[in-house]
Amino acid sequence: MNPDQLIYKFVRGNNIAFQKLYDKYSSALMGVCLRFSRNRADAEDMLQEGFIKIYKARKTFDIESGFSFYTWAKRIMINNGINYCKKNYRYVFPDNDLEIADPDSLNRPTEGYKSELVITEAKLLKMVQELPDGYRTIFNLYVFENLTHLEISEYLAISPNTSKSQLSRARKILQKKIEPIAVSINNEKIKVS
């Protein structure tokens, strides 16, 4: 079936078309949900809720706008992910969270760190999922969705400074988690050489 026809039928409320769209895009959208959630079970809940919202909002999708279905669905999924986190994780963003003990330390190059690190996606995903909920959300929005701090602040109803500090803390945590792996990889390389 032509993708346009598939989407057209989906907009008209065709159940089979919806199932086919699910088969086509669920894996990619599951990746989005996994980044926003703490674990896979939550991600699957998030995915299901997101697809229900996609189905209910199908009439708002303008086929002729040139917007791809995936972009539209991903936007709904991200919104749903944020709402899911707010509802189930109950994280709060402290307003005075800008006091970083040593902000320069974040920009300092890590010893033995190399950009050519080979770390599996699963490990990286686990690192993201292990981030505190607030950090994870802002990290996702900034890194993966390419939103600015101003946009994030509007999105989450927080101040831009809070967004910045949360992102810094998220990066710091991730950096700490990557370092040992990088060191061990370097050591292995040295041993091999």
Q: Tokens 């709904």 map to which residue?
A: 76
Instruction: State the nearest-atom distance from the C-beta of 142 to another protein, in Å.
Output: 8
**Residue with Cβ nearer another protein (109 or 191):** 109
Instruction: State the nearest-atom distance from the C-beta of 124 to another protein, in Å.
Output: 5
CB 39 within 8 A of CB 129: yes
The Cα 157–Cα 146 span in angstroms is 18
Report the length, in residues, of the chain. 193
**Residue with Cβ nearer another protein (67 or 113):** 113
Which residues of this chain interact with another protein, rule CB under 8 A?
Answer: 13, 15, 18-19, 22-23, 26-28, 30-31, 34-35, 43-44, 47-48, 51-52, 55-56, 106-110, 113, 115, 117, 119, 121, 124-125, 128, 139, 142-144, 171, 174-175, 178
End-to-end CA, the chain: 54
| Rg for the chain, CA atoms, rounded | 20
**Residue with Cβ nearer another protein (107 or 193):** 107
Contacting residues for 100 by C-beta, under 8 A, at least 6 apart: 106, 165, 168, 169
**Residue with Cβ nearer another protein (15 or 92):** 15
Instruction: State the nearest-atom distance from the C-beta of 75 to another protein, in Å.
Output: 16
Tokens of 190: 């040295």
Instruction: State the nearest-atom distance from the C-beta of 150 to another protein, in Å.
Output: 18
